[in-house]
Every structure is written in structure tokens, then in C-alpha cells.
Amino acid sequence: MKMKTSFHDKLAKSFIICDGAMGTYLNQKGVPYEHCFDELNLSRPELVGKVHLEYISAGAEMIETNTFGANAARLANYGLESKVREINIRAGRIAREARDVSGREILVAGSVGPLGKRIGRLGKITEKSAAEMFEEQAGALLEAGIDLFIIETMSNLEEMEIALASVKKVSDLPIVAQMTFTEEGITLHGNDPAEVVSRLTAGGADVVGANCSVGPQAMLEVINGFVRAGARMMSAQPNAGLPRMYDGRFMYFTQPEYFARYAREFVEAGVKIIGGCCGTTPEHIAAIAETLNHFRSSPKPDSDRSEAGEKISSLTIREIRPASPPRTAKCSRFLEKLKAKTVISVEIDPPKGSNSENMIKNAAALKEAGADAVNIADSPLARIRMSCLASAYLIKQHIDIDIILHFTTRDRNLMGLQSDLLGAHALGIRDILALTGDPPSVGDYPQATAVYDVDSIGLVGIISKMNSGFDFFDNSIGKGTEFSIGVAANPTAPDYLLEMARLERKINAGGQYIFTQPIFDLHLIRNFLKDCKSFGLPVILGVLPLVSHKHAEFLHNEVPGISIPDQIRWRMSQAGDKSRLEGRKIALELIDSIGNEVAGFYLMPSFNKFETCLDIIKILRQTE
């Protein structure tokens, strides 16, 4: 059973505007066709990221990774066949970073193109080797955190079927499968639209589509052929007409306005994903967006409208009720909940840009599902994001949910710490998780100077004094603040005794509840809880749902502070395309085993994807 994703939600409700060309647009920006466009993910990531952002700004709701030719066969032409994983992972990260900077709810599609060489008896590549190459690329894109796959520009239906089976072997993410057609409406190998629909649907494609080779007019005829064949979910990404050679370069002359007129016809024919291929630019996508957004906002018959009860992740800012006025009780609402029930909190990273819309939508969906609180991180991994305080306030303006503000000492001196705490209190923030913070050396600005006037232990002491009405140097601040004070602990720390000693100091300084790092070992959890019993404080257990075997191996081997037992990593390795379901199952088993022994659970979504966390929250609330 496939897990329902935001991609499926979007398709069920409307159509999706995809981006335009990558290669021809990079060429317009001065990159010669002789250069490997996929290699730019390594040498010029800022250029690739800029292209993504231009398309997002133009109105794209889905962007494709710069990986069309990032398979071993094509990269071998440039001596880069050993860099398949590196190039694909970097491409995925560039696309996700562009999405984060935009602050919008953008889908990231992993682009998989043809191998560029004949396959089978008459070719240089065997079917087995071809499958291995597609699996290698798909595995790397999955590891990079994409939302879906687009297998595109395939002229050979047999190669498409190999690619489709290979992707499904390593992932259960949605797949858009796009073939190329000639002006006559058939593939280069003679397959008509009906045969394409039949075979790709049987192969498990979520969406069947066409891209490249022809312009909008010829492609609309192909789409009509798909409709006659019974296709339900279709995509179309035509070229900007046919190219011409001009001054040594291929030039495309179809104007955005013409392209946009056909976009509406595609949607009226039933197309669910509409974008562009060779020769299209952000101007073409902007024209599509303007036309289709007007079409989207036009009144529809009542029979076409979605059921109101179905909406969870589709909340818009206008639909979100304002939060109730800040409470003034001495004990924060979150602290009261800890005493009365099993709480659920979910971590949300602030956006990398200034747009908070997607963050607020995610908070609304979590609230609707039954979460008690959200944890707002403070530039985790020392990577620049919107101020956690500003993020918390923006959420609080729209959503009546408790906010655990992560507050670090890395970037603030003693004056800044206390000023920001007073500001947070004035804005109605009442729950603080006191942290030291990751050093700048691990982040985007390794040359930046860390402050660290105090560490997390000192920060707990400062907040405690402010609650008593005094600052760090015992000067009166008038009425005391009313913060609840959370502290962090890592039960898998290499020096466990030191970790527990620091935890005790935090509690003695005024800590009131404990958040843990993610833990996967039930034995370690119970030992930690036993050691914490004398503190008499509630413990909120960190839970990180795994998404794939490679994800589990990365966390275990490359992320300090996370240890995953062999048995769990083995289970993920055996899960195949059901890995996300298995990750959810593992998380629920852990929660079920330890539920009565902790005060709550702190869910941490991977790659800022909330679907699995939402599922877990709903399951837990149903069993209460």
C-alpha cells in the first residue's frame, strides 16, 4: 500500500504547475552545450539554485532536479561515472534549499532521463546493467529527499519500463512517467498513445505524460489520445516549439502568451501537471501561472468541489483562525498539559527565506491532526534561517498551538540573550528549550564568530532569574517572566556520565522538563528513564521516523548523537519500496512500547516532510 503524499493531495484537488527547461535555460545563461549540465550541481550550485528560484518566483509549484543526464552511462561521456551519487544528492539538496528559501509549498521532483545508449541485444548496455544504472540514480535521489520521481524524455517504451521498474524497486514515492512523441503522434519506436497508457499504467506509473520533442499543438493531440485510452492522471511538458540554429545556438521562438493559451486547453483536457521542456523559460511559466491561476479561481459547479471535511494540509492562511489571547497564568499551558496527558510536539524548521506561508500551513495541519505543540528550531546545524522568535510569533498569530521556542547561546551575548527573552515574553511566547547551539564551524558560515557567553546551563539560570524578576546581574526587571524551561538530553552521548552530570546541573539551575534526542534503542531509553527518575521531571522522548535504508545508515554513521540498532537498520534494508511504511511502523512500535513511561513524544520529520508525522499523530489520537 502506497502512503498518501502531498503530491497525491494536490492532484486530487487541482492541477500542478511545473517548471520549465533546465539545460536550454542554462545555455542561455552562458553554459555551453558541450559542458555537462549535471556537473554544475558540484561546480556551480549557486547557478542551478538561481534557476530553481526563478521558476518558483514565476509560479512553479513543482521543480525538477538538475539530474536529467545524471546516470552512469551519460556521465561516462565526461569521465564522471563515479560521481552519480554525489551529483544526484547535491542536485536534490540544491532544489530543496531553493524551496526552503522561497518559503512556499513546492514539490521537488527527481528527474531521471534516458541512458543515451541502446539497450538490449543490439545495444552496448544489457537490460540488467540498465536497471542497475537507473536503480543507482534513483537511490541517490531518494537519499537526497525528493518528493516524487519524473522519468522523462523517453523515446523507447522498453527503456521506460526498465526505468519504471527500477525506480519502484528502490522507492514507493509517486512516479510521473513521460514519453516523447513525434509530430505524427507516436513514439520514435512506433508506439501510439493508447499503448503507452496501457503499458505504463500496468507498470505502476502514478501519472502518464508526454514531454519534449514537440510544441504545444502537437502535444495536445497526444494528450487527447491519452484521454481516449482512458488515462486519468496525465502530465504535459511541451517544448517552446521547434528549435532553429541561430549564430551557432539552438533558439526557440514560441512566445509565452501562445504557450499559456495551450496550457488552459491541456488542463481542460484533464492534464494534472503542466510545465515546459526545451526552450521554455521562467517567462513561459509565469504566463502559464497567470492563465491557470485565473482558471483555478473561477467558480466551479458544486459537484466539482471537494468535501470540506477532507481538508487538512490544504488550509490557507485565510482559513486559519487567529490564536486566542496570550495566557497570563504562572504555569504555562504546555506545562499544564505535561501534568495531565501524553503530549505530542513536532519540530518545525523556520524557512530559509522570508516567506512563512508554508511553515504556517504545516503548523495548521499538525494542530488539526492533534499535535499539542510545535518546536521551533534556532538555525539548526548553524545554517541561516528566519529568526526562530519571528517564526514563533508568525505561527502564534494564526494558530492556537503551544510553541516550544529553541533558544541558543551561540549567536547572542548576555545582553542579546536577555533582550530577546524579554521580547519573546512580550510576544506571548511562554515555553523555552534552553540550548547551547551548534557551532558556526559546522554550518554555512564557518568563519563566523560564536558568542557563547554562557552555555545551556547558564541560559537556564538566566531564565530562572528572569522568572523571579531579576536579570543576570540581579537588576530588577519589574514583574517576573512566566517562562516554562525545557532542557535537552542525549541518552546516546559517547560520554554518558558527563551527559547525565550536565543534565543534573541544568535541572538544578531551574529546568522543568526534558526533551531527548531521537532514540531507537528501547533498552537505552529505559536505562535513561531509570537514571532520570530521581529528578522527578517529565521526559518528552525524541522520535525520528526513518524514510529509507540509506537514511538509517546515514543517521547511524554520519550524524553525531544518533545510534540505530542493527536490527532496525536490517529491517529498513529489507523493506524495499515499503521503507517509509516500515519507518512509520518502527516509530509506532517504539511509542507503543514506551508510551506509559514518558510524558510525551517529540516527532522530528526528515527533509521537512510532515506526512509520516501527521499519520503517527492521527493514529495515536485515535487510540486514546
Domain 6-297: CATH architecture, name and number where available: Alpha-Beta Barrel (3.20)
pLDDT for residue 166: 98
| 307 pLDDT above the threshold of 60 | no
pLDDT for residue 246: 56
Q: What is the DSSP letter of 119?
A: B
How do residues 255-266 score in pLDDT, each as one tens digit? 899 899 899 999
pLDDT class for 312, splitting at 50, 70, 90? very low
Q: Which one, of 36, 245, 18, lies nearest residue 150 by Cα?
A: 18
What's the mean per-residue pLDDT of the chain?
90
114-123, 124-133, 491-500: least confident range:
114-123
Say yes or no: do domains 6-297 and 327-544+596-622 share a fold: yes
**Grid coordinates standing for 481?**
517572566
Q: Mean of the pLDDT values across residues 58-65?
A: 98
Q: Mean of the pLDDT values across residues 238-254?
A: 73
Alpha-carbon distance of 181 to 191, in angstroms, equals: 9
Q: Which one, of 114, 158, 155, 116, lies nearest residue 134 by Cα?
A: 114
| 565 pLDDT above the threshold of 90 | yes
Most confident of 40-49, 377-386, 590-599: 40-49
Alpha-carbon distance of 563 to 521, in angstroms, equals: 8
Select the CATH number that applies to the domain covering 327-544+596-622 from these four: 3.20.20.220, 1.10.10.10, 3.40.50.980, 3.90.740.10.
3.20.20.220
pLDDT for residue 3: 61
pLDDT class for 323, splitting at 50, 70, 90? very low
Q: What angle do CA 564, 507, 334 make, to 5 degrees?
A: 80
180-189, 247-256, 265-274, 276-285: least confident range:
247-256
Q: Which one, of 359, 426, 357, 367, lies nearest residue 402 by Cα?
A: 367
* Residue 471: exposure state from Cβ atoms within 10 A (0-12, 13-18, ≥19): middle
pLDDT for residue 315: 26
Crossing angle of helices 611-622/579-594, nearest 10°? Answer: 40
pLDDT for residue 120: 81
pLDDT for residue 306: 31
With a pLDDT cut of 90, the percent of the chain lying above it is 78
59-63, 67-71, 357-361, 492-496: least confident range:
492-496
Give yes or no for a contact between 352 and 48, defined as CB atoms under 8 angstroms apart: no
| 539 pLDDT above the threshold of 70 | yes
With a pLDDT cut of 70, the percent of the chain lying above it is 91
Q: Would you list the domain boundaries of the chain?
A: 6-297, 327-544+596-622
Give yes or no for a contact between 376 and 424, defined as CB atoms under 8 angstroms apart: no
DSSP 39-104: GHHHH-HHHHHHHHHHHHHHT-SEEE-S-TT-SHHHHGGGT-GGGHHHHHHHHHHHHHHHHHHHTS
How do residues 31-54 score in pLDDT, each as one tens digit? 998 999 999 999 999 999 999 999
Question: Which of 540 and 559 is assigned the larger pLDDT?
Answer: 540
Return the bridge partners of 600, or none.
343, 540
| 321 pLDDT above the threshold of 70 | no
| 314 pLDDT above the threshold of 50 | no
Question: Which of 210 and 245 is assigned the larger pLDDT?
Answer: 210
213-222, 308-317, 424-433, 508-517: least confident range:
308-317
pLDDT for residue 342: 94
pLDDT for residue 295: 82
DSSP 342-387: -EEEEEEPPPSSS--HHHHHHHHHHHHHT-SEEEE-SSGGG---S-
pLDDT for residue 591: 96
Q: What angle do CA 483, 364, 368 make, to 5 degrees?
A: 100
Give yes or no for a contact between 464 and 509, defined as CB atoms under 8 angstroms apart: yes
pLDDT class for 326, splitting at 50, 70, 90? very low
15-19, 152-156, 303-307: least confident range:
303-307
pLDDT for residue 398: 96
Q: What is the DSSP letter of 215?
A: -
Q: Mean of the pLDDT values across residues 115-138?
A: 92
Alpha-carbon distance of 205 to 226, in angstroms, equals: 14
| 16 pLDDT above the threshold of 70 | yes
pTM for the full model?
A: 0.81
| 316 pLDDT above the threshold of 70 | no
pLDDT for residue 447: 63
pLDDT for residue 302: 41
How many distinct helices (H) and strands (E) make up the chain?
Answer: 23, 18
Query: Which residues fall within 8 angstroms of residue 381, CB to CB, at 6 or more apart?
Result: 438, 442, 443
Distance of CA 185 to the CA centre of its chain: 37
| 445 pLDDT above the threshold of 80 | no
pLDDT for residue 317: 24
Chain length of the chain: 624
